[in-house]
Amino acid sequence: MNSTWTIAQKELLDLRRDRLFGILIIFLAVATLISVGVAAASFRTELDAYNLYVQQLSASGSATVPAAPLLFPLQLLRGGVEYLEILGALFAIVLGYGTVAKEKYRGTLQLLLSRPVGRFAIPAGKVLGLAVVWLVVVALLTVMTTAAILVIGNAPLQGIDIARILIAALIAWVYLVFWSSLAIGVTALSHRLSTGLIVSIVVWLAFVLIIPQIGDTMDPDNQVPGGLFATLNILKADELKVLANFAGFDGIRNGIEVSSVTKHFERLSFAFLGVKDKYNQLPIGLVWLDMWGYAITLAAATLASVTFAVGVTSRRNLQRKIS
Amino acid sequence: MNTFLVSARHEMLNTRRARTAHLLLIVFIGMVIASSVIGWVTNQTVTGIYEKVVADGLTMAPNPFTGVTPLYYTRNAVIYVLLIGSLMAIVLGVQSTLRDRKMSTADLILSRPVNSSARLIGQLAGLGAVLAAVISISLSVSWVIVSIINRAPLGWADTGRIIAFGLLSWVLLMTFALLGMLSGLRSKRETTALLVPFVIWSAVAFVLPQIGTAARPVSLLNPVPAVSSTGGYFDVVSAITGPLSVTEQFKRASSIILQDSAVTGSATPSILILLAYLAVMTVIVVATPRNRMRSGLHE
């Protein structure tokens, strides 16, 4: 057994015994389940309102029956994806930070460095360990949320829906590994451990919350409750024509949004789950044709993050650390 | 000099020396200032879109931005106080109480004839002064930018509203600083001390409002509070979760103070809820037993 795998196994054992890790994952799972439950309740409320409206129409003698609201089961996962996007990334940072910090706090760092392990064995083992942990966590969350759609949402799922959920799970795993690796690298580079955590959280704040928020804020259609174009009674085709005159502004807005890896994760997940109307019920192959660029950038960002973590977590950087 | 003043001065000195705190302070001030510029650029574009739509004869509707107040450009500051300001306050709060435990200076300080409550209130006052300074700087610069955008200095009424928003922001940030202080006093590990208030913050900012309003987590990043879904489940649950959602109460009160037309009603209930949280958190932190302040970390 090589030393990288031995260190990865140690990480798995450490995390299995870590109560904080357990609490974080339970919190994430509960939040995700709540989001499915709330989305299902929201749909039922909408359906009740529709049924009442139809009853009133029928009582008034009207023969017109408006279109009933449709439930697309995978759209119930939108809140869960957003929780992974925000809280999942935060918890991934905490785990990445913890995997470096614990060696210093427990005094095991010197012991680890005294063993005949390769230059990259320690960081690669830690990244591998966390990647396995996230794989297990994402698998559990996937099973739970799928069950929640069936039980709480009372919505049937087809084989193709399961395939879409599995693709979204894979995307989530890549995204979480990105954040954990980034936190490992930043913590390894920081002279003081708490600085590593705080700097990682500032990066999280910027890329997960601030940049996407700026993009949303700059969206002209978000300026008026209910949407600018809906308020002005503009049809979709006319809206696109008008917006073509403001392509420069929209380019800057979109550029700001896509500078965040979080937006790549969000757009990919929403496309494959059909959360975005444009991709709803579209075959997976066609979604891929439109979204492969995002998949490549997310994978490249994660690869860069892993390389950064492995590259900077050197013996020298680890030894100069103060708690 | 008494314990209160010494502790307050010491806290300010420590914050001045902490480089990570500076990073958060710079990000916060920068974003509050940037929010005015972003608001202005977006408003200009939307006005351009409206003019184009009218020129093309596509609408007869009035310009939705007619009569918009000069304070419209500061509306995004609400969300930056909530996102960056709250996390900054938590970090400052955690560091203020954890520092003494980590370096074992709590033993030294409390071996002197020092009242532990006065010590904690002093630390809190120091944090309060730092947060007040940060809010004052960011809103002052924001005032200048909004005045430039409007090509005239803001009037007394609008200036008063910005000051009221600053005061409300201070109340919210102090509540989160107290949460950080409490976590710094009670946690056994530094990681837990930083993480627990972050988890509480995320639950308050995202999970609670979602339960009561069906708003999606990302939509809660809007400066305007989420509107409750109506009917059955949501009527009951939002009545319970509404007052607990401190961040939504802050958004509501701030939107009313800054005259955001999307929010109507009185800001008073939301302000009272925020003040109640601040009072409760202050009592909890100040009542911390002496031996808890001296307890070491388990790492």
Min Cα–Cα distance to chain B from A1, Å: 30
More confident residue, B24 or A215: A215
Shortest Cα distance from B109 to chain A (angstroms)? Answer: 22
Helix (H, G, I), strand (E, B) or coil at A192: strand
CA dihedral of residues B190, B193, B194, B195 (deg, nearest 10): 110
CB B275 within 8 A of CB B171: yes
Q: B44 contacts in A (CB within 8 Å)?
A: none
Q: What residues contact B246, with CB distance under 8 A and at least 6 apart?
A: B172, B175, B204, B273, B274, B277
Instruction: For residue B188, report the phi and psi dihedrals to the nearest 5 degrees.
Output: -90, -20
A45 closest CB neighbour out of B50, B199, B231 = B231
Report the pLDDT value the prediction gives residue B228, as an integer from 0 to 100.
Answer: 62
Q: Are B170 and B131 in contact (CB under 8 A)?
A: yes
Are the beta carbons of B134 and B21 closer than 8 angstroms?
A: no
- Answer whether B49 sits within 8 Å of A228, measured CB to CB: yes
Please check whether residue A181 is in contact with residue A308, taking contact to mean a CB–CB distance below 8 angstroms.
yes
Lowest mean pLDDT among B84-88, B220-224, B247-251: B220-224
The whole-number pLDDT of residue A76 equals 87
pLDDT of residue B253: 92
**Chain A closest CA to B165's CA: distance in Å?**
20
H helices of B228-267, where?
A: 232-244, 246-257
Q: Which of B23, B230, B233 lies at the smallest CB-CB distance from A202?
A: B23
Neighbours of A163 (CB within 10 A): 12
The whole-number pLDDT of residue A308 equals 94
Task: Say yes or no: B217 contacts chain A, CB-CB below 8 A.
Answer: yes
Q: How far is CA B200 from the centre of its chain?
A: 14
- Least CA distance to B198: which residue of chain A? A90
Helix axes A121-151, A284-312, angle to 10 degrees: 150
Residues B40 and B149: beta-carbon distance below 8 Å: yes
Q: Which residue has the higher pLDDT, A300 or B204?
A: A300
Among partner residues B192, B194, B210, which is closest to A34 by beta-carbon distance?
Answer: B210
- Nearest-Cα distance to chain B for A296, in Å, is 24
pLDDT at A265: 94
Q: What is the CA radius of gyration of chain A?
A: 23
pLDDT-derived band of residue B265, with 50, 70 and 90 as boundaries?
confident
pLDDT per residue over A47-102, tens digit each? Answer: 788 888 888 888 887 777 777 777 788 888 888 899 999 999 999 998 999 888 88
d(CA A232, CA B251): 27
DSSP A318: H
Residue B64 DSSP SS3: coil
Strand residue runs (E) in A79-154: none
Asked if residue A158 is part of any domain, the answer here is: yes
* Amino acid A128: pLDDT: 94
Residue A301, pLDDT score: 95
Task: Give the residue carrying structure tokens 């020129």.
Answer: B55
Tell which wins on pLDDT, B40 or A174. Answer: A174
Please determine, for residue B160, whether its predicted confidence score (pLDDT) is greater than 90.
yes
Interface contact flag, A20 B191, Cβ < 8 Å: yes
pLDDT at site B226 = 66
What single-letter DSSP state applies at residue A304? H
Q: pLDDT per residue over B100-133, tens digit each?
A: 888 888 888 888 888 888 889 999 999 999 999 9
Q: Which residues contact A1 (CB under 8 A, 6 or more apart)?
A: none
Query: A118 in a domain, yes or no?
Result: yes
Helix, strand, coil percent content, chain B, rounded in steps of 5: 80, 0, 20
End-to-end CA distance of chain B, in Å?
35
pLDDT at B224: 67
Q: Whole-number mean pLDDT of chain B?
A: 84
Domain positions in chain B are: 3-294
Quote the tokens at residue B32: 């509050």
Q: Which residues of chain A have pLDDT under 70?
A: 1, 224-226, 321-323
Rounded to two decimals, the ipTM of the complex is 0.81
CB B22 within 8 A of CB A197: no
Please count the structural domains in chain A.
Answer: 1
Phi, psi values for residue A322, rounded to 5°: -120, 150
Residues 6+ apart with CB under 8 A from A294: A264, A267, A268, A271
- Give the gap in angstroms from C-alpha A33 to the nearest C-alpha of chain B: 11
* A273 contacts A75 by C-beta, under 8 angstroms: yes
Residue of B253, B293, B251 whose CA lies nearest to B269: B253
Residue A220 has its nearest CB partner, among B49, B80, B194, at B49
Q: How far apart are CA A43 and CA B61, in angstroms?
A: 31
The Cα–Cα gap between A308 and A180 comes to: 11
Nearest residue, CB atoms, A218 vs list B42, B191, B233? B42
Per the CB < 8 Å rule, is A231 touching B64? Answer: yes
B 146-205: CB under 8 A from A: 189-192, 194-195, 198-199, 202-203
Q: Which residue of A has its CA nearest to B49?
A: A242
- The secondary structure element, H or E, covering residue B293 is helix B290-294
pLDDT in the model for residue A270: 93
N residues, chain A? 323
pLDDT at A266: 93
CB B159 within 8 A of CB B143: yes
Chain B closest-CA separation from residue A228 CA (Å): 8
A154 occurs within a structural domain: yes
Higher confidence at residue B152 or residue B227?
Answer: B152
Give the pLDDT confidence score for residue B177 in this predicted structure. 95
Separation of alpha carbons B61 and B82, rounded Å: 34
Confidence of residue B277 (pLDDT cuts 50, 70, 90): very high
Domain of A15 in residue numbering reads as 3-38+76-319
3-class SS of residue A322: strand
CA–CA gap between residue A33 and residue B226 (Å, rounded): 20
Interface of B with A in 42-61 (CB under 8 A): 42-43, 45-46, 48-50, 52-53, 56, 58-59, 61
Q: Which amino acid is at B61?
A: A
